[in-house]
């Protein structure tokens, strides 16, 4: 019974680290993509529905 909460805590810590890493990667990729394609996205927005 003593080993179970420690294993549960480590498992939660790994899940939290994965989620934080995934969110950081997504945010970095989206910011990089939007900064590179800002003119193109504005142009397509003006050409289509905005």
Phi-psi region of 3 (alpha: psi -120 to 50; beta: other; left: phi over 0): alpha
Q: Which domain holds residue 38?
A: 3-47
- 13-42 average pLDDT score: 80
The pTM of the full predicted model, rounded to 2 decimals, is 0.49
- 35-44 average pLDDT score: 60
Residue 26 confidence (pLDDT): 81
Cα atoms found within 13 Å of the Cα of residue 25, Cβ hemisphere only: 6
- 20-32 average pLDDT score: 86
Is pLDDT above 60 for 25? yes
Domains of the chain: total: 1
């Amino acid at each position: 019974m003593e080993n179970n909460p420690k294993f549960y805590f480590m498992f939660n810590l790994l899940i939290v680290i994965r989620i934080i890493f995934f969110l950081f990667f997504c945010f970095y990729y989206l910011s990089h993509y939007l900064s590179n394609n800002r003119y193109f996205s504005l142009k397509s927005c003006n050409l289509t529905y905005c």
